[in-house]
A and B are shown apart, each in its own frame.
Chain A
């Protein structure tokens, strides 16, 4: 591969990777910190994308639409966690198997429901920054990818600060480390986890808006993102927010290089390939606890 093509692929990959990080960061909280087997995370992101699509059809800016949806998703997340806790976590035994089957079923229902409502066609949105590009010397970068980068970095910084500086943020980190100890300190671990799961779900609204800004969205896309999001979360080291950004960029670059060298049909396998490799070689990830 010629060098300039490779450089372009790497640059494109970095931008794409930031987007992957934004999509995965909610999972980093839900699965990485809370140990919820949240297979349905990508389905929530797709739901966010369709939410942004519907609002954008009514003349709203898609990114603003995503931001407006976050409180709604936050409440939804609270409800989902409360339900999950009541049905699975409290009963204890066998929760793993059934929790997995539960989220798998939920993701499947979302996908089919979206197909029933919107059909299998790809949907996209229009905004001032979609379709334009900025030139950096020789290379042209699509503006919508820069929007994705900005939101991804913002999300990472805000979540990192939130988890390390605020009281509730530290409580979330504490519940990830030792639930019993937190309970002994007088805090209710279930409420802390519920709050964290709400935040994780809220990021899905923003990530969904980004997804439909970055490219067309269809209901079946969620399955592909199961691999991508879990690859990023595991590679990052469970629960590490800056790690999520780094891991997202690694996946983005790897996918982009494979795309330009082998062709687009091999790209979907990259995330899963990396995931299997990480699980086999270093399950703790890059920045593991």
Chain B
């Protein structure tokens, strides 16, 4: 309980800091870059709920992100719906998609599950490409509404994304420390054994997949408003799928802190490399780091820290 209180205080402090920053910081680019990093915190945390805790590797994070983005674009274009409605709608739609993915885990494990998520991504992309209402393959411009309370709309989105990141991390933290998390870990270690000792595997997997999907969709919901434009190739970009998986693996999948560390580290590096060198190279950096960590430090940065700790303790 006490830990939770500390956590809530920290969250409130971070949110307040973000609001103050949105009012004080002059440089508009700061918000543009920070938004992306925060968005990756949500994505990485969401991926980790199913991938890290339960061991089901999702290669289709980009699709959840894009489906969230397109859900909100469609609603925005049709009814000029306000941002909170867009967020909730995106969460519902991608949550349902996540539930469907959860049903797949009934029959598919390991690589088959992962390929099925690639399949879902490509099918979603094909559907969006052929959906002319939201611009089809050519994309369409989305004019964000006038900002409320802040100097620019991106500042508002920055604060919203901060809140979303805090909420995502809180959900991951709750799941990890509760019975659900322990159940998911049992599934990851041995699904058969978990089933045998009475862990409700299907129920847990469905819950994890739905929450994971909904969070990814929420991360994508403001995307079109942030870019003022949306088109399928960038929304479904492989970059999101790779980052969502690379960040938790690099940070460490065992705890909710891992994806946050990974996203902060990689997200910031990406922003710096994109600005100073080139955007292709930044993508290459993620790939190389992912492979290196998988090979050299299988438990990520958290694992490295922990092993040093343990080594000292043993001495």
Contacts and interface: CB of A to CB of B under 8 A. Distances in A.
Secondary structure at chain B's binding surface: helix, strand, loop or mixed?
A: helix
A37 B280 CA distance: 27
Main secondary structure on A side of the interface with B: helix
B58 to A, nearest CB: 11
B110 interface: yes
Of B130, B281, B295, which is in contact with the most chain A CB atoms at under 10 Å from its CB? Answer: B295
A217 B294 CA distance: 30
A193 to B, nearest CB: 17
B126 A269 contact: yes
B157 interface: no
Given A96-B111, A100-B114, A266-B130, A108 B242 contact: yes
A138 interface: no
Nearest to A120: B280
A273 B110 contact: no
Nearest to A262: B130
A106 B281 contact: no
Interface residues of B, number: 40
Interface string B240-257: 001001100100000000
Contacts of A91: 298
Interface string B277-315: 000110110111011001100100000000000000000
A265 B137 contact: yes
Interface string B117-130: 01110110111011
A265 B107 contact: no
A265 B111 contact: no
B294 A101 contact: yes
13 contacts: A39-B114, A87-B295, A97-B55, A100-B114, A108-B238, A116-B280, A223-B122, A224-B122, A226-B115, A230-B115, A265-B126, A268-B122, A276-B119
Given A97-B57, A272-B118, 9 more contacts: A39-B114, A39-B115, A101-B249, A101-B290, A101-B294, A109-B287, A112-B283, A268-B122, A272-B123
Interface of A: 31, 37, 39, 87, 91, 94, 96-98, 100-102, 104-106, 108-109, 111-113, 115-116, 223-224, 226-227, 230, 234, 265-266, 268-269, 272-273, 275-276, 279-280, 283
